[in-house]
Structure 1
């Protein structure tokens, strides 16, 4: 295989990896938002029960 072919294949792999990572980051952000909401709700519920 020529060097050029190797480089283009590597480039494809890297861009695919980059896409996957950005998707993963979006998922993690959403998960973090959900967890934050959940914690807030639990705190509110706890507060209401303590009164």
Structure 2
């Protein structure tokens, strides 16, 4: 069973790797066990 939460549209202010927490610019925060941080990007179609 996976317990994955997706949070979109928030800017990260600080990541505390020792405490396993992320603080957002609006002051909210979350704790994590494992973290995947994805930055903005544009997808492209690869032609083979």
TM-score range, shorter chain: under 0.3
Structure possessing the higher radius of gyration over alpha carbons:
1
Q: Which has the higher helix share?
A: 1
Greater strand content: 2
Ranked by relative contact order (alpha carbons within 8 Å, sequence separation 6 or more), the top structure is 2
